[in-house]
Amino acid sequence: MTYLGTKGVITYGYPLLPSGYTNFHTILSFYLRAVPALIFGLNELSLRLPSAVFGILSIPLTFIFVREVLKNKYMALLSAVIMSLSIWQIEFSREARWYSEFNFFYLASV
């Protein structure tokens, strides 16, 4: 789905699938993946790159969030380390799906 939606964004300007259906479910994710796809070509690297970038950016965002909430930089550092070693965080950052972006934007909105 990620490949087809991103290909639709590059070709038509919106995530048009081969069935003729427009996939609006994760539309931001398709547009975020279209940028590296235009640079590197539509391949595995370009589809996974946004997830990896947002996964990496979630770690300092976790530090900032915990520091602001608890007013303790040591707890914030511990939270960032736990976040960076979390199996879920690592797996979300490796997939060509929208989970890592959702995690980042959710934490940023909180």
Q: What is the pLDDT of residues 69-105, one digit of tens each?
A: 999 999 999 999 999 999 999 999 999 999 999 999 9
What are the distances in angstroms from CA 51 to CA 5, 33, 54? Answer: 15, 9, 5
How do residues 96-109 score in pLDDT, each as one tens digit?
Answer: 999 999 999 999 99
Give the pLDDT score at 13: 93
> pTM (2 decimals)?
0.88
How do residues 4-63 score in pLDDT, each as one tens digit?
Answer: 999 999 999 999 999 999 988 889 999 999 999 999 999 999 999 999 999 999 999 999
CA angle 53, 59, 60 (to 5 degrees): 100
Give the separation between CA 37 and CA 84, rounded to whole angstroms: 26
Percent of the chain having pLDDT more than 90?
95
Question: So where are the chain's domains?
Answer: 2-41, 46-109
